[in-house]
Structure 1
Amino acid sequence: MDEQRLRRGRPPWGPPPWVLAHGRQGHGRRWPWPSTLLITAFVLVGSSFAAHEQAGERADLDVFARVLLVLACGQLLWRLRHPVPVVFGTAATTAVYLGAGYPYGPVFLTVAVACFSAVVAGHRRAAWAAVGSLWAAHVLVAHWLYRWLPPSDDSAAYWGQEAVIAAWVAAIVALAELVRVRREQWAREQAERAQAARRRADEERLRIARELHDVLAHSISVINVQAGVGLALLDSDPEQARAALTTIKSASKEALGEVRQVLDTLRAAGDAPRAPAPGLDRLPELVEQAASAGLSVTVEGEVPRLPPGADLAAFRIVQEALTNVVRHSGSRHARVVLDQGDGTTLRLRIDDDGPATGADAGGSGNGLAGMRERAAALGGTIEAGPRPDGGFRVLAVLPLRVEEDDR
C-alpha cells in the first residue's frame, strides 16, 4: 500500500486524494461550534456527576481540573482542519487529567471524537498512535506511578479495567475505519461515474464530429465541382451553368437537412430523432450526387439488411470513399462492390482507376481516420491504399447481422 501511495506521488502517511480535496475545501467551512459546545457541556456536567460518584476514591474537581476539561474540549474546534495535532493534543490533555488523579468520566469522549475525525480524514496511524499512547500512559499511572501521584491513598487499578478501556478503544477505531472505508468507496464511485460521463461525452462529441465531417465533406465536394463548372460555362453555355447551379442548390439543401438531423441529437434526452439515419438503401442517391459532380459510379452486389448502426457506418464509408474520388482522383469512374461472402461479414470495396490529381481539394485529412473509427466501433476493419494496377481502393469488412424480424 505504501509503495502504491509513493508511486501516486504522495507520502505513505498522508490522506487519500479525496481527503486532500476535501481538506482544501474544508478551510472555507465554518467552525464546528455547535458540536464542540455540546461536547463541552456534556463533559463538564458528566465529570461533575463522576466526581460525586467517585468521592473519596479520586481527587476532587478543582479549577485546574476544569481548565483541563475545557482545554481538551476546546481543541475539538480544530479537528476538521488539523486532525493530527488535535488527536495528540486531546490525548496528552487527558493523560495529564488522569495523572493528576481526577475522576474517570466523559473526558475520554474528547479523545474518541478526535480519534474518529483523524481516522475518517485518513490519518489512521496518527490516531492509533495517539490513542495507544494514552492507553499506555493510563496503564503506567494506574499500575506503577499511582504511589507518587494524587490521591495519596490511591491503590493500583485492576487489570480488567484495562481490558474494558481497550475494548472501547477498539470499538471507536473500528467504527471510524468503517466510516472511512465507506467514504473512500463513495468517493471512488463518484470519480468512476464522473469519468464514465466524461468518456461518454467525448465519444458523443467524436460521433457528432464524424457525422458532420462525412455530411459536409461529400456535399461541399459536389458543390465545389459544380461551382467550377458553372463559372466555366456561365458565358458560353448558360443552360449548363443553370444545371450546375440547380445541382448546387439541391446538394446544399440536402446537406442542411442532414446537418440538422445530426444536431437534433444534441437536444434534450428522451426526444426521438426527427428523421431516420441514412443507410445503404440511399445508395442510389449517392450515385446521383456523384454523377452530378461528373463521377460515374457502378454498383455491384445486393444491398443487405443491417442494424441501424452498421447500416449508417456502411453508408458513410461509401460516401466518404466517393467524396475522396471526386476530390483527389483524376478518374471519372468508380466501382462500389458489395459482397456478403459467407454471410457473416459485408465486404465493401470502392475502386477508382486514378491517377491522383495531387491537388489540394480543401479536405481536413480526417476522412480515412473517420472510416477506420466507424469500422472499428463495429468490430470491422478498413484497408485503404493504391492498387497495384493503378488507382485507389478502399476495402471495408463489417460484421453482417441480418435482422431476424425482417426476413
Structure 2
Amino acid sequence: MPSFDQVRFRLPRGARADAALAGGVFVLVALAEGQRLSHGGDAMASLIASWLLITAVCGALLFRRRYPVTVGWFTVLATGAYYLLSDIDAPLIMVPIVALYALAAQGRTQAAIAMAAAMVIGVSVGPLAGNSDINGTAVFMLTGWLVAVVALGSVRHSRVAYAEEEARLRATEERLRIARELHDVIGHNISMINVQAGAALHRLKKDPAQAEEALGAIKASSRETLRELRATLGVLRQVDEEAPTAPPPGLARTDELVASAKLAGLLVRIERTGAERSLPAPVDLAAYRIVQESLTNAAKHSGAGRVTIRLAHADGELTLAVEDDGEGAATRPAGSGGGSGITGMKERARALGGELAAGPRPEGGFAVRARLPYEITGEPKWSGVTDDQGPAGG
C-alpha cells in the first residue's frame, strides 16, 4: 500500500501552474460570457473580438516567465479592451493581477507600479467611455487591491533576496572556516616536518642517532597530518567512516604540540593559573589552534629557542599567551588573507566574541595574546599556580 506521502495531492509548479491558472480563468470567463450569448443583442463583431481577447490574455500567461514585462503590459491593455467591449463582470482581471505580482516578486517594482497606475487610470476614465457600472468605490477598491498585490510581491522578492544573501554568507563563512582548519592542521605539521628534515640533514653525519630521531618525528608528523586531512575531507564529503580514535584537537593535546616543538629545537614551558574547567568545544579548538599556529611561527620564522605558553582560566573566559625569545616581528608573516597566519588566529578569536593581539615584546621576542570568553558549564577540575611541561625555559 503506498504511503501518504506518495499519494497526497501536490499543486503544479512553474509552467504547469501557469497553464492551470490560464485554463481555469478561461473556463470562468467562458461561463460568464455564456450569459452574454444567452441574452443576445450584442453585435457579432463585438462577440468575436471579446473571445479573441479572452484567448489572447489567457494564452499570454504561458509566456510570462520568458517575457515578464511584455506579457504584463499586454495583459493589462488587452484586459482593458475586453472590459470596454463586454458588459459582463468576468474574472479576466485575475490574469494581469497575477502578472503584476510576478513582476514585483522578481524585483521589477517600477514596471509593476507603472502597470498598476495604468490600470487605475484606465478604470477611472471608464465612465467617460459610457460604462455606468464604474464609480468612485470601484476605483478605490481596485487601487487597494493593486497596492496590496505589488506590496506582497515586493515582500516576496525581499525575502527571497535575504535568504539567498544569507545562504551566500553561510557558504563564505564555511569556506573560511575550512580554510583555517586546513591551514592550521596541514601548515603546522608540514612546517614541523620541514624543520625536522633540515635538522636530520644537518645531523646525519655528525650525530646519526639524533638524525634518526628527527626522521622518526617526521614519520609521526606525516602520519598525523594524513589522519587529520582524511578526517577533514570525510566531514566535507559526509561519508560514513569509522569514528576517529584520537581525541579531538583541544588543550588536552597540548603535550603533543610541546613534543613536536621540542623535536624542532624549541624549549617549551607551559604555565597554568586559575581553576581549569571543561571548555566548550569551539573555545577548546580555538585555543589549541592558536597555540599550534604560534609554535609553528616560532619554529619557522623567528629563530626562537625558548617559548612560554601561559593559560589562565578565569570566570567565563580563557586567557592565553605564547611568548618566545626570537627575532620579534622582523621575520613574521603578516598573515594577510583569511584563514592564514595571524589573521586566521584573530578570526578565530573574534568568532567567539574574544580578541587577539600579536606583536614584538619590549624585552625582545614575539608574543601572541588572546582572550576567549565562554559560558561556565562545569565545576573546576583543579586549581593551581603553574604546571611545567616540556623542557624548562628558565
Please indicate the TM-score interval, normalised by the length of the shorter structure: 0.7 to 0.9
The 5-angstrom pairing of residues 176-325 of structure 1 reads 177-268=147-238, 274=244, 276-302=247-273, 304-305=276-277, 306-325=279-298
Q: State the Cα distance separating 1:37 from its structure 2 match.
A: 5.0
| Superposed CA offset, 1:176-227 (max 9, x none) | 5545544443343333223222222221221121111111222112211111
Please say if residues 39 and 73 of structure 1, whose CA atoms lie closer than 8 Å, have aligned partners that are also in contact: no
d(CA) in 2 for partners of 1:405 and 1:296? Answer: 32
Please say if residues 328 and 364 of structure 2, whose CA atoms lie closer than 8 Å, have aligned partners that are also in contact: no
d(CA) in 2 for partners of 1:209 and 1:35? Answer: 53
Range moving further from structure 2, 85-94 or 315-324: 85-94
Please say if residues 251 and 287 of structure 2, whose CA atoms lie closer than 8 Å, have aligned partners that are also in contact: yes
- Structure 2 alignment gaps of length 5 or more: 1-13, 105-111, 382-394
TM-score (norm 1): 0.73
Task: Give aligned pairs, total.
Answer: 344
Aligned to 1:349: 321
Range moving further from structure 2, 40-49 or 238-247: 40-49
d(CA) in 1 for partners of 2:139 and 2:35? Answer: 19
Please say if residues 316 and 374 of structure 2, whose CA atoms lie closer than 8 Å, have aligned partners that are also in contact: yes
Q: State the Cα distance separating 1:336 from its structure 2 match.
A: 1.0
Q: State the Cα distance separating 1:266 from its structure 2 match.
A: 1.5
| Superposed CA offset, 1:366-406 (max 9, x none) | 21011101111111111111111211111112225442266
d(CA) in 1 for partners of 2:156 and 2:284? Answer: 41
Q: Secondary structure at the match of 2:326?
A: coil
Q: State the Cα distance separating 1:296 from its structure 2 match.
A: 0.5
- Structure 1 alignment gaps of length 5 or more: 1-24, 53-59, 99-103, 143-156
d(CA) in 1 for partners of 2:98 and 2:329? Answer: 73
d(CA) in 2 for partners of 1:41 and 1:34? Answer: 10
| Superposed CA offset, 1:289-344 (max 9, x none) | 1101111101112483221111111111111111111011222111112233x534
1:334 aligns with 2:290: no
Q: Secondary structure at the match of 1:301?
A: strand
1:78 aligns with 2:60: yes
Please say if residues 115 and 173 of structure 1, whose CA atoms lie closer than 8 Å, have aligned partners that are also in contact: no
Aligned to 2:126: 137
Aligned to 1:395: 369
Aligned to 1:370: 344
Please say if residues 230 and 241 of structure 1, whose CA atoms lie closer than 8 Å, have aligned partners that are also in contact: yes
d(CA) in 2 for partners of 1:400 and 1:44? Answer: 72
d(CA) in 2 for partners of 1:406 and 1:273? Answer: 29
d(CA) in 2 for partners of 1:47 and 1:130? Answer: 24
Change (3 A) 1:78 1:133: same
- The sequence identity of aligned pairs, in percent, is 35
Change (3 A) 1:356 1:395: closer
Q: What RMSD, in angstroms, separates the aligned Cα atoms of the two structures?
A: 3.4
The structure whose Rg is larger is 1
d(CA) in 1 for partners of 2:154 and 2:247? Answer: 45
TM-score (norm 2): 0.75
| Alignment equivalent of 1:41, drawn from 30, 49, 54 | 30
| Superposed CA offset, 1:143-197 (max 9, x none) | xxxxxxxxxxxxxx6xxx544xx65565565555545544443343333223222
d(CA) in 2 for partners of 1:197 and 1:387? Answer: 42
Higher relative contact order (CA 8 A, sep 6+): 2
| Superposed CA offset, 1:53-79 (max 9, x none) | xxxxxxx22222223212331330335
Q: State the Cα distance separating 1:270 from its structure 2 match.
A: 10
| Superposed CA offset, 1:263-296 (max 9, x none) | 3332439999645421111111111111011111
